[in-house]
């Protein structure tokens, strides 16, 4: 009995040590996050102003605002989603509602997973080779949006698929049982139920796309272009690329630090908003669905 108690005590001590270590490390990670956020917010908040987001950059991008970069990023996000969202949602519907389990499904799934794993710089290379050079779009909004769209595609497909999977099969059976066709069932029953989760996925991919730099380096991003584009074959500035440029190779890195902090903060704010919006939406719709 005495030995039992000793062992029991040893077990308790081991557990206490292990658990406090894990707890500590977890909070350490959270602390890292807070340091990153707090630092960038602290440095960036003073830079933010109406002028910062509404004016053209001046003096070799050491002062003025980042208006064209903001607009450029908005255009690119919109353009890429214009491609990735419908195609991705349709692909997911095909995968989840139409194709039967088998090698086709497995193959498409494998390819989608592979595409998701392809590094963003490779997308950049590909976009340059195909859109910029082969199809002769040049460095343009079109080329950049398509490149970003392809990058976002697996994300959209995956989140949509999950949303569709979460729809209980009984809904489908009930609808099909009433004589509705497959597409009627999908469009009238499945999609409305899955809609909130699909939109959540869309918002998250917007957050992702808006921060991507490598794919736009050689497909659209302009180093310095203090005017707005007039068509889809124009170049634009973009926030992530702008941050890269002014923090590493601008005309005067020291002088543009302020601008860099502001730009970094804007990027973080975009991510924060999209994450927040996604989780809000999930909660809001979650409640609504339950009430029905």
* 3-state SS, residue 57: strand
Task: Report the DSSP pairing between strands 57-58 and 63-64.
Answer: antiparallel
Burial class from Cβ neighbours inside 10 Å (0-12, 13-18, 19+) for residue 98 reads exposed
Residue 277 CB, shortest distance to other proteins, in Å, is 12
Gyration radius from the chain CA atoms: 24
Question: Site mask, other proteins, residues 4-23, x = CB under 8 A?
Answer: xx-xx-xxx-xx--xx-xxx
The footprint of other proteins on residues 226-285 (CB under 8 A) is 240-241, 243-244, 247-248, 257, 260, 264, 267-268, 271-272, 274-275, 279
Number of residues binding to other proteins, judged by CB under 8 A: 91
Contact code string over 123-142 relative to other proteins, x by CB under 8 A: -xxx-xxx--xx--------
Segment lying near other proteins (by CB under 8 A), choices 52-60, 64-72, 176-184, 226-234: 176-184
Piece of 34-42, 48-56, 61-69, 169-177 that binds other proteins (CB under 8 A): 34-42
Contact 164, 96 (CB under 8 A): yes
Do residues 55 and 67 make contact, with C-beta atoms less than 8 angstroms apart? yes
Is 114 an interacting residue with respect to other proteins (CB under 8 A)? yes
Q: How far is the CB of 275 from other proteins (least distance, A)?
A: 6
Q: Are 92 and 197 within 8 A, CB to CB?
A: no
Least CB distance from residue 175 to other proteins, whole Å?
A: 14
SS3 110: helix
| Binding residues for other proteins restricted to 190-209, rule: CB under 8 A | 204, 207-208
Distance CA 139, CA 220 (A): 5
């Amino acid at each position: 009995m005495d030995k039992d108690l000793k062992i029991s005590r040893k077990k308790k001590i081991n557990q206490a040590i292990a658990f406090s270590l894990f707890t500590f490390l977890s909070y350490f990670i959270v602390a890292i996050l807070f340091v990153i956020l707090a630092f960038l917010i602290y440095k960036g908040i003073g830079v933010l102003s109406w002028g910062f987001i509404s004016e053209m950059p001046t003096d070799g991008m050491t002062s003025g605002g980042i208006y064209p970069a903001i607009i450029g990023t908005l255009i690119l996000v919109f353009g890429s989603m214009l491609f990735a969202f419908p195609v991705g949602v349709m692909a997911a519907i095909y995968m989840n509602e139409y194709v039967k389990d088998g090698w086709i499904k497995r193959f498409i799934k494998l390819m989608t997973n592979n595409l998701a794993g392809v590094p963003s710089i490779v997308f950049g290379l590909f976009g340059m080779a195909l859109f910029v050079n082969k199809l002769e779009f040049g460095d343009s909004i079109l080329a950049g949006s398509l490149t970003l769209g392809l990058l976002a595609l697996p994300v959209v497909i995956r989140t949509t698929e999950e949303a569709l999977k979460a729809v209980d099969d009984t809904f489908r059976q009930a609808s099909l049982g009433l004589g509705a066709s497959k597409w009627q069932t999908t469009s009238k029953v499945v999609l409305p139920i899955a809609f909130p989760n699909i939109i959540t996925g869309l918002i998250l991919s917007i957050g992702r796309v808006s921060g991507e730099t490598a794919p736009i380096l050689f497909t659209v991003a302009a180093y310095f272009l203090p005017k707005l584009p007039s068509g889809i074959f124009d170049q634009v500035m973009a926030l992530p690329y702008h941050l890269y440029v002014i923090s590493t190779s601008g005309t005067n890195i020291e002088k543009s630090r302020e601008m860099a902090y502001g730009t970094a903060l804007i990027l973080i704010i975009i991510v924060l908003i999209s994450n927040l919006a996604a989780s809000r939406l999930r909660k809001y719709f979650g409640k609504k669905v339950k009430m029905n």
